[in-house]
């Protein structure tokens, strides 16, 4: 039986008539957009019928709703005079599969719902090997990623330190989370610290905690992150940046399973598994005397290498689709997908920033794209042609002033687009366009 979600926004009389008339359909009636939203959070419908209420004041809400549920095919029913409103016409053209005006010709309505259902079935067939996004999981079916997942499954079961190497943005943190989630410690905490982001003076007390009076400002005892990770795992990101004296303390912890807080004399037993990650070549750091050799050997019993994206380009279509759906709400309304040409251009590119770069480029293209499909130029892949106009003289100084103002504002706001847009007095959309024009990425 074909399933149909019917969202009523009118007096309901027509909906009930229509319910009786739609033989062959399993119809679920809901009384409002918010009821539909709740239902769609845990049920899947391929086709929806939207019975409009005739209240232009609520078109924005309807637009947001349709944008959120863009993967469904929607058929709308409206009062004919409403079609004179440009905003509504745009909403129909952008989001609806088909529309009807009252009084409704039931035969035509049945046809258009049947057609919508047929299209949905076709599309499902085309994407049969798609699996839903599991969120926070390592996606991809390339040999390289399949190997990585199998390796993680094995290593997770052994309660020993793990060292994850990989280029920036390749998914090291994701791999660490997966090791934790698949281990017997999964129900315990997963505590992460980026050793490169914490000032060297603070990192000791962050990791190991301190006793009251250990230094100026230490007014009370404080548990460190290692203690907080007891029963679970501690993720030491950018371990290559850990200062040498702390490397010694960490080694002692790995050997003896106890720690000293800063300023403390008693030992505290801590049961945490260390998962470390690095994007630098640790053996080279060892050779250069920046990383302790004994700690390196202790950590690298179970090394994991997360392959860069260029070694698993087969995963690009799947990752692209998952990212597209994940950020679907931000996309420009008419956008329906990614063109074959864009996928080909992506396959030719080497992705030095790996999956993070892929996410950033796609998200930006989804906002900026002006057609129904993302085209290669929307991705602004380096080496794929000139960007922006060539100007000189006054025009050029104006451009560079604009560019500097945007970069400064982004830097000040910590890359917060809304805040920077407010500061610059432009809309978020305009800021995205300006950033694209100047090739500024976050």
Neighbours of 350 (CB within 10 A): 14
- DSSP secondary structure code for residue 308 in this structure: P
Cα gap 236→254, rounded to integer Å: 13
Query: Site for ligand ATP (CB under 6 A): which residue of 53, 172, 305, 363?
Result: 172
Largest CA distance in the chain: 85
One character per residue 82-121, x = contact with ligand ATP (rule: CB under 6 A)? ----------------------------------------
Task: Count how many Cα atoms sit within 13 Å of the Cα of residue 119 in the half-sphere of its side chain.
Answer: 15
Binding status of residue 359 toward ligand ATP by CB under 6 A: yes
Pick what 415 binds: Mg ion, ligand ATP, none; C-beta below 5 to 8 Å, kind-dependent. Answer: none
3-state secondary structure of 40: helix
Of the pair 334, 441, the CB lying nearest ligand ATP is at 441
Summarize as ranges the residues that interact with Mg ion (CB under 5 A). Answer: 173
Cα gap 18→117, rounded to integer Å: 17
Binding status of residue 363 toward ligand ATP by CB under 6 A: no
Pick what 343 binds: ligand ATP, Mg ion, none; C-beta below 5 to 8 Å, kind-dependent. Answer: none
CB of 52 to ligand ATP, least distance (A): 38
Residue nearest to ligand ATP (CB): 171
Query: Site for ligand ATP (CB under 6 A): which residue of 112, 170, 183, 233?
Result: 170
CB of 309 to ligand ATP, least distance (A): 8
Query: Site for ligand ATP (CB under 6 A): which residue of 47, 53, 173, 226?
Result: 173
Pick what 140 binds: Mg ion, ligand ATP, none; C-beta below 5 to 8 Å, kind-dependent. Answer: ligand ATP
Strand order in the sheet with 25-30: 25-30, 2-8, 47-51, 73-79, 98-102
Q: How far is CA 382 from CA 328, 373, 438, in A?
A: 25, 20, 13
3-state secondary structure of 52: coil
| Pairing assessment for the beta strands 73-79 and 98-102 based on DSSP bridges | parallel
Binding status of residue 140 toward ligand ATP by CB under 6 A: yes
DSSP 310-349: GGGGGGHHHHHHHHHHHTGGGS-TT--EE-HHHHHHHHHS
Of the pair 241, 378, the CB lying nearest ligand ATP is at 241
Binding status of residue 139 toward ligand ATP by CB under 6 A: yes
Residues that bind ligand ATP (CB under 6 A): 138-140, 166, 168-174, 279, 355-356, 359
């Amino acid at each position: 039986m074909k399933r149909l979600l019917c969202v009523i926004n009118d007096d309901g009389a027509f909906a009930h008539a229509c319910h009786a008339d739609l033989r062959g359909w399993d119809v679920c009636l809901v009384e409002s957009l918010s009821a539909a939203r709740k239902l769609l959070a845990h049920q899947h419908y391929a086709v929806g019928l939207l019975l409009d209420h005739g209240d232009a004041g609520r078109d924005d809400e309807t637009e947001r709703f349709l944008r959120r549920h863009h993967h469904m095919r929607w058929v709308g029913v409206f009062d004919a005079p409403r079609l004179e409103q440009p905003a509504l016409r745009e909403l129909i053209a952008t989001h609806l599969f088909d529309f009807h005006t009252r009084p409704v010709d039931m035969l035509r309505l049945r046809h258009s719902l049947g057609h919508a259902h047929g299209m949905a079935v076709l599309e499902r067939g085309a994407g049969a090997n798609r699996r839903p996004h599991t969120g926070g999981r390592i996606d991809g079916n390339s040999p390289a990623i399949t190997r990585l997942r199998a390796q993680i499954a094995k290593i997770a079961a052994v309660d020993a330190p793990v060292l994850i190497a990989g280029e920036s943005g390749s998914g090291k943190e994701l791999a660490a989370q997966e090791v934790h989630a698949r281990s017997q410690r999964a129900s315990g905490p997963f505590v992460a610290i980026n050793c490169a982001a914490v000032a060297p003076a603070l990192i000791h007390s962050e990791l190991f905690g301190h006793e009251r009076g250990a230094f100026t400002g230490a007014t009370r005892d404080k548990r460190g992150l290692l203690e907080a990770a007891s029963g679970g795992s501690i993720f030491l990101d950018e371990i290559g940046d850990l200062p040498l004296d702390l490397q010694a303390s960490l080694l002692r912890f790995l050997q003896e399973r106890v720690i000293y807080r800063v300023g403390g004399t008693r030992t505290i037993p801590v049961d945490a598994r260390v998962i470390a990650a690095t994007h630098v070549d640790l053996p080279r750091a060892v050779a250069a005397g920046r990383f302790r050799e004994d700690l390196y050997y202790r950590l690298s019993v179970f090394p994991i290498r997360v392959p860069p994206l260029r070694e698993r380009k087969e995963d690009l279509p799947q990752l692209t689709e998952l990212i597209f759906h994940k950020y679907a709400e931000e996309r420009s309304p008419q956008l329906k997908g990614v063109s074959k040409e864009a996928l080909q251009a992506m396959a030719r590119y080497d992705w030095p920033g790996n999956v993070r770069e892929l996410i950033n480029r796609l998200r930006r293209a989804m906002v900026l794209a002006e057609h129904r499909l993302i085209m290669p130029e929307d991705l602004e892949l380096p080496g794929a042609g000139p960007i922006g106009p060539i100007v000189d003289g006054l025009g050029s100084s104006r451009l560079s002033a604009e560019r500097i103002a945007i970069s400064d504002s982004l830097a000040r706001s910590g890359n917060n687009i809304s805040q920077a847009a407010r500061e610059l007095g432009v809309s978020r959309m305009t800021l995205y366009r300006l950033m694209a024009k100047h090739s500024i990425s976050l």
